Structure 1
């Protein structure tokens, strides 16, 4: 079985590493699941679209999970297709491969958006009503979970930006309509913090995760230089679960919030968490599930990359969360077929060398605003 929660950490950092060819087998596996999953969705519910199970064999398949079905870990958990769409959007942004966008990205993302549009009803205000819907594996069958709202709010605007040669105007019109009915992220205004789902926070927690932080990563609605930064940082500071290693996303989220000390602590832990019983250096010690663990290395690598470089549109930010006392050399890939390389000595970047050269004007070192 492929557990998306455990498989994704190895693939996200392949973007900055430039290992694009290593990502295609993952995308291809899920793309091949689409026809069968879509057929089952239509059989069960009588509507279009598709999604991927959190835990699935390589040939795919989804169980019937109507509202009357008893809750469980992954039954009413529909988030993976949104995160995979986000990863595919990044792949396209990095490579500018229009063929990939047409053949992989648009089929997968459009199937996921159609599923959310047609599977769920509307509330009294005409907004999408995500209920029952798991807030990942943490809270089961809740109302308007933050990860799915964040995913829809992150994916749809980026799909609308795709060139007309990649996607038709009719699809964009449907996505604009859907974006207009996506509900707001759940927020506790009195405490100034994001919430894992909307409504009274009475659902029983089943895991050790912070679903409200999905709006920071992987869906990147909040971060350095973005609106409501203090809301996101305060939410991170109040997070309930702070465990290190395995699939915990804290090092990446900390980097996106400029928390260099926290990111350093978590990244160091993840990348040095070896098991002496296991043969190879990158066979990480067992986390929550099994050994060798897939997640320590991936999340550690991803966190380290984001401490060193983050991108937003054409902007390339260097050292957004880099700790004092760490020197190093780097060569990282950025969107629009760009590479950035240089050295860090005493907190300063020498160079950097940017390829192609005309992208050098997009590089900003420690030039981030906080709102």
Structure 2
């Protein structure tokens, strides 16, 4: 087996054991009506189902009688920071039980068990599953009649490829092209028959992006000391079956992309076959040892039974759930909300043990781009907004809902990401400003460095070079300049994980403290203090309110994060309790103003002042979520937040129910049930974009739009249970009377809450520990 991944998994599970402190005598199962069942074949890869485990994701479908699936894996970053797929597998049988005129076709995703089956004529059954604890894909075929099988591994990267304009969006060269930026070159993979199997891999030997980036950002002197996950990154797969031998190498074209197929063929008829596809990814210069270990670990893992993986999925579903209108028709709106909420968790669970967090723009489940609305005719590796650039505003929406769902094992990859890049970002703050802090921009690569294009977007778009307002180190970009506070949300998610479970956050304290240090040290250096208070200018109200003074999203967030840090009281590495108590007094108060759309009313203001509006997000509402300064049960005047939502002529036209927008979360926290329910219902309704009910997009990002579902999940949880005010556990604060069902969620202080819901009534309420029962409040009042 792959000992590195196994060891990492055991360590991760061991460190997370305290999180799973509630077990029932019999694990819950999701309603069988949540299974996705198709009785006809798909037109193309857009009609695929997700299946995965550990750190592997597959898109599986049947097309023209063939079984196909893409193979994706966490961490497959190439020289340009694309997140490449490993390849595509095609299974063809003769006589073909899946011929277009054959009977009995069914494709089923068994959500409780985490795998897919395909049924066809002659009692043929194909089980496709991924081992949660070993990086291996299993294909098991049985039938009542004998058949021949060809298992093909299809790749589109056998030769190098010069990318064209637009194609670079899958890399970290940037979302736009410029004559001042080179178009990337796609380096080839290596594929070959090896020991009667197919070995396919990509080994990074060049650093075109990193070399250009460090030079353009004035970091050449520091380049060798910077963490770089692209350096010598090697990833690939090995597909093998004892019943199959190498056949001819063939070529073809799927949708827009030419491919080469290496084929394993059966030497004799059989009514059962087993195929194993092992995967590996790590940074290495010893390619021969890497290949040998992949082949040997695949052979060992091929003998592993499915039992442990099944048990993991069963435990995963038992740890938390929200089930709505379970006995209703699949067309019932509430039923779809509950089902697709669980499918978001499922897609996140497929990368529970990945070294890298699930991507907001497709996760492990992207498919051919021209099947996406408005998508280009590029290879299956394409996704907009890159595979290796981490946009914190989007990624955060995948992490917040994991607190209440108890999925702390999935969170670990996001926490570790910031832990790994913190040393680089300390170098940035020291190099550019001489500060003992970190400098985190918004669009950062997996190195922690600002994305090449976004760092100098105005210059690359033809504007003049930088001026004193945009010194080196600060993004020269109308959308992203001075947007340094989005990492504060990940700081608070880590702190909240301690508050929820007692997680030891000492490993993450450098990230936490040096991120907070930026605001205190940079703005003191730049502006000094006024009456003992920080002057946070130039700042930013997310991407919208630019060159802002004391942005509400920044100052409200700083107060919340510092208060949570003092509550957690960890082992400090930079400051101490007295320092943070003083810091808290230096943070400005949240600004108020007369509402632009109704000047007789008072609103939370997005900032005390700002120079221009660039985007369209109502950032004053960040004081409601994520920061909880305003909302049900708070001591602040809730009407100021409600007025900001309802009477803000600057951004009101941009409220929405898709993508990263957060309206349903704010509405739930403000107790506006009908409005919250309408948006949640729309967001979690079955997809009309694609065949699988929880594939939507591209919206603002890509398909499947994972942060669409992350935002939706947060909103649904906040409609059901709010825990952001003191020790309160507020149930059904924005819950519609038409939804019945049952739930189990986690709350702070190692608490689990479960109950049945009939409209706005709660029965069979169980709070563990029972001492927390007195903290429960029912309803919005």
The TM-score, its normalising length taken from structure 1, stands at 0.91
Measured in 2, the distance between the counterparts of 1:262 and 1:357 equals 34
Counterpart of 1:233 in structure 2 is 642
State the partner residue of 1:305: 717
Cα deviation 1:207-237 (Å, max 9, x = unaligned): 2200111111111111111121222222222
SS in 2 for 1:161: helix
Query: Where do 1:1-371 residues align within 5 Å?
Result: 1-62=389-450, 67-69=469-471, 70-97=476-503, 99=504, 101-104=505-508, 106-120=509-523, 121-163=527-569, 166-167=571-572, 170-188=575-593, 191-199=601-609, 203-226=611-634, 227-239=636-648, 240=652, 241-272=654-685, 274-277=687-690, 280-311=692-723, 312-366=725-779, 368=781
Change over 3 Å in CA distance of 1:173–1:309 after alignment to 2 = same
| Cα distance between partner residues in 1 of 2:713 and 2:487 | 23
Task: Say which one has the larger Rg.
Answer: 2
> CA separation in 1, counterparts of 2:530 and 2:447?
39
What does the per-residue CA deviation read over 1:319-365, in whole Å, with 9 as the maximum and x for residues that have no partner? 11111222121111111121111111132011211122232222221
Query: Using the alignment, how far apart are the partners of 1:137 and 1:87 within structure 2?
Result: 21
Task: After superposition, give the CA deviation of every residue in 1:60-83 in whole Å (9 maximum; x if it has no partner).
Answer: 124699733444222311111211
Distance in 2 of aligned mates of 1:300 and 1:358: 31
Q: Name the CA distance, whole Å, in 2 between partners of 1:310 and 1:351.
A: 19
Distance 2:409 2:449 in 1: 26
Cα shift at 1:53: 2.2
- Equivalent position SS for 2:753: strand
Partner of 2:148: none
SS of the aligned residue for 2:576 comes to helix
Find the residue that maps to 2:763 and give its secondary structure: strand
C-alpha displacement at 1:275, in angstroms?
A: 4.7
1:332 is paired with a residue whose SS is strand
Shift of 1:139: 2.0
Q: Which runs of 4+ in 1 moved over 6 A?
A: none
Cα contact 1:255–1:307 (8 A) shared by 2: yes
Give the Cα separation in 2 of the matches to 1:340 and 1:225: 19
Normalised by the length of structure 2, the TM-score is: 0.44
On the 8 A contact 2:601/2:643 being kept in 1, the answer is no
| Higher RCO (Cα < 8 Å, 6 or more apart) | 1
Closer/same/farther in 2, CA of residues 94 and 180 from structure 1, 3 Å limit: same
Structure whose residues are more often helix by fraction: 1
Residues 166 and 294 of structure 1, relative CA distance in 2, 3 Å threshold: same
In 1, Cα distance between the equivalents of 2:571 and 2:678?
42
Q: Deviations over 1:133-176 (max 9, x none)?
A: 1211112222221111111111111212223x633795222212
Count how many residue pairs are aligned between Structure 1 and Structure 2.
Answer: 361
Alpha-carbon distance change, 150 to 78 in structure 1, aligned in 2, over 3 angstroms: same
Which stretch shows the higher mean deviation, 64-73 or 9-18? 64-73
1:273 and 1:143, CA in 2 relative to 1: closer, same or farther beyond 3 A? farther
**Structure 2: runs of 5 or more not aligned:** 1-388, 457-465, 595-599
C-alpha displacement of 1:122: 3.0
* Contact preservation (8 Å) 1:153, 1:182: yes
Mapped partners of 2:696, 2:625: distance in 1: 23
CA–CA separation in structure 1 for the residues paired with 2:672 and 2:436 = 42
Between Structure 1 and Structure 2, the one with more strand by share is 2
Aligned-pair CA distance for 1:289: 2.2
Hey, what's the Cα distance between the residues in 2 that align with 1:284 and 1:4?
A: 20
Q: Distance in 2 between matches of 1:273 and 1:6?
A: 22
Residue pair 1:71, 1:141 contacting (<8 A) in 2 also: no
Query: Which range is displaced more, 355-364 or 166-175?
Result: 166-175
Give the equivalent residue in structure 1 for 2:462.
none
- In the aligned structure 2, how far is the partner of 1:68 from the partner of 1:356? 52
Change (3 A) 1:276 1:230: closer
Tell me the SS of whatever aligns to 1:192: strand
Following TM superposition, by how much is the alpha carbon of 1:44 offset from its aligned partner in structure 2, in angstroms?
A: 0.2
d(CA) in 2 for partners of 1:23 and 1:265?
Answer: 29
Aligned to 1:306, the other structure's residue is in SS state helix
Distance 1:169 1:10 in 2: 29
- The whole-number CA distance in structure 2 between the counterparts of 1:38 and 1:19 is 30
Deviation, structure 1 residue 367:
6.4
Q: Alpha-carbon deviations, 1:230-268, whole Å to 9, x = none?
A: 222222222423122111111111111011111101111
CA deviations on 1:270-307 (whole Å, 9 max, x unpaired) are 11262534x64322222112222122211111101110
Contact 2:404 2:745 (8 Å CA) reproduced: yes
Mapped partners of 1:86, 1:169: distance in 2:
17
Name whichever of 279-288 and 213-222 sits farther off.
Answer: 279-288
Please tell me whether the aligned partners of residues 194 and 232 of structure 1 are also in contact (alpha carbons under 8 angstroms).
yes
Q: 1:140 to 1:149 in 2, by over 3 A?
A: same
Residue pair 1:71, 1:140 contacting (<8 A) in 2 also: no
